[in-house]
């Protein structure tokens, strides 16, 4: 089934076999800079048209559903995309606008939730019943899936662990709060804090900060250690509240592999007393988790209404 996972800088499009999660076709489109909210909706619609065409070709018949995942606050019931700082829109009735423009039913998903659904169905969490997937990159979010179904909360804001107050209270979060996990452990925060301490030799991204830490740069190591310590505290708190069978680390930061996984596992081992520390696994689906979960969510919505 065709699915689109819209991010702040690029959109991933794919035609997914919902039976086994494999991609029959996939691509990546850059999100043009400077679009108005209406312009972005039109751009998404154009990508969706392309996806429906590719789906008919790859499946051998027209698709009967289409999933679109977006970041920020997503109201699944009304199909509304709420505020997204990266995309510059607020309260977009995106599902209705796309369905009208395409004359085709659209399922609107939350991107982190979709990634968790994907990992639970076909990725690192596929053998477990309750899976906590933590997606860490530009932002940090989480999703609990129970038997493959995401728990979204009363206001679609469950497991937003990027906004747990686990860091020094001086840091101002993008949400307006202070000391939230994202102020020290989101990718841009790690780079920004390191560069503020080493203005003469700024790093371009998190992999560069990590490479410098591995090469003996004590400042880089200190900021990375602080980030993963706060991250580990947040994951431990989530585990105490949710008691998942496994924890899956996904998103850009999870590509650092054991450099993130090992401190998180150590944090769980040292923090939990009577809770069983769940295994900490790295995403198997990588940046495909979102489109796979989005396609699956669209198929489920078509099947169950
Ligand atoms: Zn926050």
Q: What is the CA(183)–ligand 1 centre distance, in A?
A: 8
pLDDT at 203 over 90: yes
- Residue 164, pLDDT above cutoff 70: yes
Q: Give the closest residue to 12 by CA, choosing from 151, 143, 114.
A: 114
* Residue 280 clears pLDDT 90, i.e. is over it: yes
C-alpha distances in Å from residue 261, one per residue of 36, 77, 232, 244, 258:
39, 35, 9, 16, 5
pLDDT in tens, 81-119: 987 767 778 889 999 999 999 999 999 999 999 999 999
Taking the centre of ligand 1 as the mean of its atom positions, its distance from the CA of residue 13, in whole angstroms, is 29
Q: What's the 182 CA to ligand 1 centre distance in angstroms?
A: 7
User: Is the pLDDT assigned to residue 272 strictly greater than 70?
Assistant: yes
Q: Boundaries of CATH 3.30.420.40 in the chain?
A: 2-114+287-304, 126-284
Structural tokens at position 90: 């607020």
176 C-alpha to ligand 1 centroid (Å): 6
Superfamily of domain 2-114+287-304 in CATH is ATPase, nucleotide binding domain (3.30.420.40)
How far does the centroid of ligand 1 lie from the alpha carbon of residue 194, in Å? 20
The pLDDT value given to residue 72: 87
Q: For residue 192, how far is its CA from the centre of ligand 1 (angstroms)?
A: 17
CATH topology of domain 126-284: Nucleotidyltransferase; domain 5 (3.30.420)
Ion ligand 1 residues within 5 Å by Cβ: 163, 173, 175, 177, 180
Distance between CA atoms of 134 and 139, rounded to whole angstroms?
Answer: 11
Share of the chain above pLDDT 90, in %: 86
Instruction: State pLDDT tens for residues 44-67.
Output: 999 999 999 999 999 999 999 999
Residue 305 has pLDDT above 80, yes or no: no
% of the chain with per-residue pLDDT over 70: 99
pLDDT of residue 52: 97
């Amino acid at each position: 089934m065709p699915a689109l996972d819209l991010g702040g800088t690029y959109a991933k499009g794919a035609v997914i076999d919902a039976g086994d999660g494999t991609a029959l076709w996939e691509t990546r489109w850059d999100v043009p800079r400077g679009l108005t909210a209406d312009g972005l909706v039109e751009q998404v619609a154009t990508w969706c048209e392309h996806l429906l065409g590719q789906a008919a070709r790859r499946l051998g018949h027209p698709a009967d559903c289409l999933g679109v995942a977006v970041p920020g606050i997503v109201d699944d019931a009304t199909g509304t995309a709420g505020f997204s700082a990266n995309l510059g829109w607020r309260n977009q009735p995106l599902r209705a606008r796309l369905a009208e423009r395409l004359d085709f039913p659209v399922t609107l998903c939350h991107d982190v939730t979709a990634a968790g659904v994907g990992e639970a169905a076909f990725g690192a969490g596929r053998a477990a019943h309750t899976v906590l997937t933590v997606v860490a990159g530009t932002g940090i979010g989480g999703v609990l899936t129970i038997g493959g179904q995401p728990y979204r909360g009363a206001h679609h804001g469950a497991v937003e662990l990027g906004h747990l107050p686990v860091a020094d209270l001086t840091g101002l979060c993008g949400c307006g709060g202070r000391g939230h996990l994202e102020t020290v452990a989101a990718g841009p925060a790690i780079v920004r804090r390191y560069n503020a301490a080493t203005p003469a030799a700024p790093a371009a991204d998190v992999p560069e900060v990590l490479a410098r830490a591995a090469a003996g740069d004590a400042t880089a190591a200190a900021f990375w250690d602080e980030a993963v310590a706060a991250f580990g505290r947040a994951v431990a708190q989530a585990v105490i509240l949710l008691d998942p069978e496994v924890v899956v680390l996904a998103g850009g930061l999870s590509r650092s592999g054991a450099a993130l996984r090992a401190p998180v596992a150590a944090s769980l081992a040292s923090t939990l007393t009577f809770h069983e520390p769940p295994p900490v696994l790295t995403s198997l689906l990588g940046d495909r988790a979102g489109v796979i979960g989005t396609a699956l969510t669209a198929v489920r919505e078509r099947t169950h209404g």
